[in-house]
DNA sequence: AAACACATGTAATGCGTTACATGATTTA
DNA sequence: TAAATCATGTAACGCATTACATGTGTTT
C-alpha cells in the first residue's frame, strides 16, 4: 500500500510522468522504496481512478507523448494524512545473511566470494550516495534538506555494511 | 524463491516442524528473512512435493500432532548449490524514509513523533540482538559462530539507525 | 470451565516480478 | 538506416498478507 504514497510523495515534489517516476525511483526515493515501471504505471492508473492525481498530455513537448501527473487537492490531503501516521517497521529479506547463516557448510573461498561481491555492491552504492549528496548540498531548500537526510541514512547504512564485511572477512580468514 | 532456501538452511541446522520454523523465523534466521506461518506451511508442502524434505509424524510426543521435517540428500544438495551462488542484492522498502523524504510538508512535532517511534523500535531490537548474542557466545560450535556473525550484522544495523536518528532529531530541532 | 499455548492448515486478495508488445524520436 | 533512448502499456504468474477455520493439550 505504500507504493501509492511513495508516488504521491514524489509528485508532491514535482509533477512527473510515469517514466520520470520510474527513473526517479532509480536514484532518490527509489533508494529506499524500489518499484518497477510496471508497478508505477499500474498504481498511477489507480490513483487516477481514485481521484488522487490527474494527468495532462504534455503539449508542445518534443519526443513521444507524455502523460504528466500532478496531485489533486484530495491527493495532497491523503498524502498529508499518511505522512502523519506512524511508519510500519520495514520488512527485511536479505539473501546474503541467509547464506552466511548457513555458511558453516561452505569452504572459506566460497564464503570469501560471497562477501567480496557484497563489498563491491556496497562500495558502489556508498559512492553513489555520496555523489548525490554533494549535488544536493548545492541547494539550500527545505525539500533538499530532507532529501539529504534520507541520503545520509543510506550513507550510514552502507558504512555499517562495509564495517561488518571487514569484520566478517577477518573472522573467516 | 529464497524462502525455500531459508527453510532448508534452518532445517540443515536441525529438523523442525512448521510451528518450530515459524517461531524460529521470529528469533534468528527470521531477523533477516521474515515469513509468516502460512508461507512456511505452504512452502514446506512444496518442498515435500519436490522431494527436498521429508516428514515424520512425531510419535511419543505430548501435545498435538507434529510433523517434523528433515532434509533429504536432494535437499542438502540443493541447499549447497544455492549457498554457492552469488546473493541477490536485497530490496529495500522502508516506509519511514519515504515519510522523511516528504517531511518538508510536516511540522517539527509530527516529525519528532515519527523519529521517536523508530528510535523505540530500533532500541528494542538492538537489545534483543545483544541478548541473543550473549546466549550464543556460550557455544563455541562452528554453527554458532556463523549465527553470531549474522547477529553482529543486525547489531551494526541497529547502531547505524540510532546514530542516524540522533542526527536527524538534532537537525529538525 | 475458561483461557492460553501449541499446531496445522485453507481462501481471498493484493503486491511484485518477468515477459511481452508497441511506437516515437534522437543519435551514430 | 540501424541502434539507442524515450515513453506507455498488457498479461501471466508467483509470493506475501490478511482473515478465517479447526482441533489438542496445559494451566488457572
Give A13-29 pLDDT, tens digit per residue: 999 999 999 998 878 89
A90 within domain boundaries:
no
CATH of the domain at B60: 1.10.10.10
CA angle A42, A86, A137 (to 5 degrees): 75
Looking at residues B139-160, what average pLDDT do you find? 96
Q: What is the mean pLDDT of residues B97-118?
A: 97
Query: In the predicted model, what is the mean pLDDT of residues B47-70?
Result: 84
Partners of A17 in beta bridges:
A68
Of the three residues B43, B60, B84, the one that is the final residue of a domain is B84
- In sign, the C-alpha dihedral spanning B55, B57, B60, B64 is positive
| Number of domains into which chain B is organized | 2
Which of A24, A40, A79, A105 to mutate against chain B (most B CBs within 10 Å)? A105
Contact status, residue A32 vs residue B92, Cβ threshold 8 Å: yes
What pLDDT score was predicted for residue A22?
Answer: 95
Are residues A72 and A104 located together in one domain of the fold? Answer: no
Tell the residue number behind the cell numbers 498529508, with chain if given. Answer: A80
* B window 63-82, beta carbon within 8 A of A: 79-80, 82
Task: Give tens-digit pLDDT for A32-49.
Answer: 999 999 999 999 999 999
Q: Tens place of pLDDT for every residue, chain A, 173 residues?
A: 799 999 999 999 999 999 999 998 878 899 999 999 999 999 999 999 999 999 987 765 666 688 999 999 999 999 999 999 999 999 999 999 999 999 999 999 999 999 999 999 999 999 999 999 999 999 999 999 999 999 999 999 999 999 999 999 999 97
Distance from CA of B42 to the nearest CA of A (A): 18
Q: Which range marks the domain in which residue B43 is found?
A: 2-84
Q: Are residues B155 and B104 in the same domain?
A: yes
The sign of the CA dihedral B38, B41, B44, B48 is negative
SS3 content of chain A, % helix, strand, coil (to 5): 70, 10, 25
CA A50 to chain centre: 24
pTM check: above 0.85: yes
Amino acid at each position: 500500500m505504500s507504493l501509492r504514497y511513495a508516488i504521491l510523495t514524489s509528485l508532491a515534489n514535482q509533477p512527473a510522468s510515469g517514466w520520470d517516476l520510474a527513473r526517479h525511483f532509480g536514484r532518490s526515493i527509489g533508494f529506499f522504496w524500489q518499484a518497477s515501471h510496471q508497478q508505477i504505471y499500474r498504481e498511477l492508473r489507480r490513483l487516477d481512478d481514485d481521484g488522487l492525481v490527474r494527468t495532462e498530455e504534455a503539449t508542445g513537448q518534443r519526443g513521444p507523448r507524455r502523460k504528466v501527473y500532478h496531485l489533486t487537492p484530495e491527493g495532497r490531503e491523503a498524502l498529508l494524512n499518511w505522512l502523519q501516521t506512524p511508519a510500519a517497521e520495514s520488512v527485511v529479506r536479505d539473501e546474503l545473511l541467509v547464506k552466511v547463516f548457513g555458511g558453516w557448510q561452505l569452504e572459506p573461498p566460497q564464503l570469501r566470494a560471497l562477501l567480496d561481491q557484497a563489498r563491491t555492491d556496497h562500495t558502489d552504492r556508498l559512492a553513489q550516495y555520496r555523489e548525490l549528496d554533494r549535488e544536493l548540498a548545492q541547494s539550500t531548500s527545505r525539500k533538499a534538506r530532507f532529501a539529504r537526510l534520507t541520503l545520509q541514512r543510506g550513507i550510514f547504512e552502507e558504512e555499517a555494511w562495509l564495517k561488518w564485511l571487514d569484520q566478517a572477512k577477518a573472522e573467516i580468514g
